[in-house]
Structure 1
Amino acid sequence: MQLTAPITLESSHVRLEPLTAEHAVDLAAASVGLEHAWYTSVPAPADVPADIARRLEMRDAGEMNPWAVVRGGIAVGETTFCSIDQANRHVEIGHTWLGPAAQRTAVNTAAKLLLLGHAFETCEAIAVEFRTHWHNRQSRAAIARLGAKQDGILRNHRLGPDGTLRDTVVFSILPHEWPAVRLNLQERLARG
């Protein structure tokens, strides 16, 4: 299966639905109260429709596969396959954010379990990558808890909207690591 193919992924904890404009109202509500730190790119409530449109444009260009993260029938965040390199079966999981009510719940763990399972077991990925800003310590810790290994730091990797330079921390999971990562995530979900 292609990494860009639209698909719904679901578990008892979360449902990942192909992102559509119909998710905008829920996602705008979910983004209320989020701290919009300078090193993240979470949309403000009024910017959610434009964020969805941008993600859908990238989907149509074959660069991204975006999902709405749904819990209890309500979209509580977004996530994507991005930096898709289908020829090399390489993908990044990123552009993820969750509203405050979904943070520190099973939602992120369950979503990552679904995405990684789809990447490795269905799409036969040979590497799944995660990237985050050096200053986003919360994200770095969450990625490490998944079982991803830090590959390195891309220094002065990008310019931020305000002109600041971004150092990007790169993590990855490889196919031979996936069984242990899967067991770790399943155990975390079972513990609640």
Structure 2
Amino acid sequence: MSFPIDPTAEHKGAALAALRQPIIDWVHKAAEEMFHECPKAESRDRQPYGYNGTREIEIGGLHLILVRSMHSTRSTKYDGFFDIARRADDNLEPAREARIKTALTKKLPKLLTCGGEGDVTVLVLEYSDIALTHHVLIAEALENLIAQGVAMPDQVFIADTTLPRPWDFYQPITDGALTIEMEHIEIEPPEEIGY
């Protein structure tokens, strides 16, 4: 089953909890329907493309998609396995910009206060999901936020931690000036990072 990448954007606390049972009930009903459509994987002669059942619904403003896929050549190891995934819509830019703006809202007040007192301010933005973003897209989102009047620290680094090591660092903002054309710096992270 997949659901929108940010399912809690419109629902919080009790409102979100109230959606759980209707979602569970729908999954049970839709899964049973798809099971009856194809109780077992048929031979390739009978169903050359296997079975791919899909059900979609909107519950409380959440667009949910449930998929059941079977094929005669596929291992039965995961038969009955239920997986939940977040789904990104076609246009990720507003979501990416909103996520970066949220990160900045949490970090910038303290940094900008220090900057106002004469300190050099440094912000590191980390991403670990190459499927949804990369350093240029983050830099472009920063550029859009700057155009909207959002103040930035003196130095901003983007840390690509998609691989265990080494990490790639990019610097879109150097001494207050933004650039999209960035060289990467490889940094070997410590063996263990304490938070």
TM-score (norm 1): 0.30
Name whichever structure is richer in helix by fraction. Answer: 1
User: RCO higher in 1 or 2 (8 Å CA, sep ≥ 6)?
Assistant: 1
Name whichever structure is richer in strand by fraction. Answer: 1
